[in-house]
Chains A and B, each alone.
Chain A
């Protein structure tokens, strides 16, 4: 659940925080596309490493680190499942290992790209930028509230696990089926309290006149600055560079 720390936005004053969400959205889309497209582990590693300058300038080492460390837990699963699937579909051992490695790096790279985006972009600004991109407000808000509550859910899961462990629940005990069943006392309170919270949030929003007028006005309007164009240019250039590597050098 530590992976979810990668969605825990805090205010910041770094150049990355100040970028327009739309330019970061361009980066997010282009880089995720590359990460999903390429299979070469070196290229995937390069994509992962390329997020590090953003982490550094955005000063988000702490939560980014927690999120990456948390993703390591999933990597072993991804590696094993991928390996088994490859072997079953008739690949050689070497290919299966290579593909498992690629999948794992791809996963971490995606986590890192998403973390840099969500850790430096405020939900309000993201909603506003989506509205300025002509996405209907209701959808933009729903999406962002979902994102906003991801880390809350992660924290809540932590509290629930603590409470159940204090009642003698041992999550890591037993065979695979038992282990899955062990999570029932964690999942049920998590689901129920999410419903409770959703109701509370809906009530709170309605009592603050959500949806009272058809056309909402905005307090701020987002504008792009020179940094934004620079950021978009760098993202687009590196995107094209990697794509040409694929087209002309045949690296996939």
Chain B
């Protein structure tokens, strides 16, 4: 379980990047954090493996206060992948890149190669196994970065903007992988601007704006509140747009629901 209790944090000399954030995410949840650029999303996730410690308030990860442990200990449980893959790829080959975290966490040799094989397969990187990470394309590097964390099988998976630069096929693969991990009982948290990705796959949304948590609830509810979306500089999901444009009684982001609404309207016009 992840718990933030009234967390405030500021970088040197500026207004707080997080102010009084309280949030609880239970084991096995699948949550999206959305919000405008500079809303504090990255700052928030950096608190979840102890890279940043709260100025006031507390962060509890699996019952442990982040101030009373090390990043390396928390990282074993919390897999955090950042936006920019170029900030972490360094090894000679894709294989060695994947093994890096596994070796850091002291896994035995057979286990390391087993996990590396799994990741190569899962992320369609097999043909690149002995190639330098720097020769991969942008999208492939991004996938390798994801793979290099997911391969050590953390209980909690946190991805900062994982869909940027991925085509729709890769997005789909990522979504189904995350869904599968979630069904296996992992907690999955992703930061994204990709509203369609959220509305298609993720049941719970946390909306941030200006360092504050401004909404937290079921995706269908949050993403059909226009004022909220505007506040967080987000595009509304297409289905919500259609609902508003047609003046449906209850706007929704569920395709079946919207179709039913339209059918009802048509019936109303006939009758």
- Chain A positions near chain B (C-beta within 8 angstroms): 5, 62-63, 65-66, 156, 159-160, 162-170, 184-185, 188-189, 192-193, 196
CB distance from B214 to the nearest CB of A (A): 26
Interface of A is mostly: helix
Within 8 A of A (CB), among B182-230: none
Set of chain B residues within 8 Å of A159, measured between Cβ atoms: 82, 84, 87
Complex partner residue of A166 from B70, B82, B90, B134, CB under 8 angstroms = B82
Set of chain B residues within 8 Å of A170, measured between Cβ atoms: 70, 72, 104
Complex partner residue of A62 from B12, B80, B86, B101, CB under 8 angstroms = B12
> What separation, in Å, do the CA atoms of A41 and B70 have in the docked complex?
39
Q: Is the CB of A166 within 8 A of B89?
A: no
Set of chain A residues within 8 Å of B105, measured between Cβ atoms: 168
Set of chain B residues within 8 Å of A192, measured between Cβ atoms: 86, 90, 134
- Chain B positions near chain A (C-beta within 8 angstroms): 12-13, 46, 49, 51, 70-72, 75-76, 79-82, 84, 86-90, 100-101, 104-105, 134, 148-149, 152
Complex partner residue of B86 from A5, A63, A167, A196, CB under 8 angstroms = A196
Q: Is the CB of A66 within 8 A of B87?
A: no
> What separation, in Å, do the CA atoms of A62 and B15 have in the docked complex?
13
Set of chain A residues within 8 Å of B104, measured between Cβ atoms: 167-170
CB<8 Å pairs between A and B, sample of 7: A159-B84, A160-B87, A162-B87, A166-B75, A168-B101, A189-B88, A196-B86
Set of chain A residues within 8 Å of B84, measured between Cβ atoms: 159
CB distance from B17 to the nearest CB of A (A): 14
Complex partner residue of A168 from B13, B76, B89, CB under 8 angstroms = B76
> What separation, in Å, do the CA atoms of A189 and B133 have in the docked complex?
11
Q: Which residue of chain B is the closest to A2 with respect to CB atoms? A: B12
Known contacts A168-B101, A168-B105; is-contact A162 B76 (Cβ 8 Å): no
> What separation, in Å, do the CA atoms of A70 and B46 have in the docked complex?
22
Q: Is the CB of B90 within 8 A of A189?
A: yes
> What separation, in Å, do the CA atoms of A98 and B105 have in the docked complex?
45
Closest 4 CB pairs of A and B: A168-B104, A62-B13, A188-B90, A163-B88
Q: Which residue of chain B is the closest to A61 with respect to CB atoms? A: B13
Complex partner residue of B13 from A63, A156, A164, CB under 8 angstroms = A63
Known contacts A66-B12, A192-B134; is-contact A165 B87 (Cβ 8 Å): no
Q: Which residue of chain B is the closest to A170 with respect to CB atoms? A: B72
> What separation, in Å, do the CA atoms of A66 and B104 have in the docked complex?
31
> What separation, in Å, do the CA atoms of A193 and B90 have in the docked complex?
11
CB distance from B141 to the nearest CB of A (A): 11
> What separation, in Å, do the CA atoms of A169 and B70 have in the docked complex?
11
Residue of B46, B72, B79 ringed by the most chain A CB atoms within 10 A: B72
Q: Is the CB of A193 within 8 A of B87?
A: yes
Q: Is the CB of B88 within 8 A of A164?
A: yes
Known contacts A167-B149, A168-B101; is-contact A162 B46 (Cβ 8 Å): yes
CB distance from A89 to the nearest CB of B (A): 40
Set of chain A residues within 8 Å of B89, measured between Cβ atoms: 189
Q: Is the CB of B101 within 8 A of A165?
A: no
> Can you add 9 more A-B contacts, CB < 8 Å, to A169-B72, A170-B72?
A66-B12, A163-B82, A165-B71, A166-B51, A167-B88, A167-B100, A185-B100, A189-B87, A189-B88
> What separation, in Å, do the CA atoms of A60 and B51 have in the docked complex?
27
Q: Is the CB of B75 within 8 A of A167?
A: yes
Set of chain A residues within 8 Å of B134, measured between Cβ atoms: 192
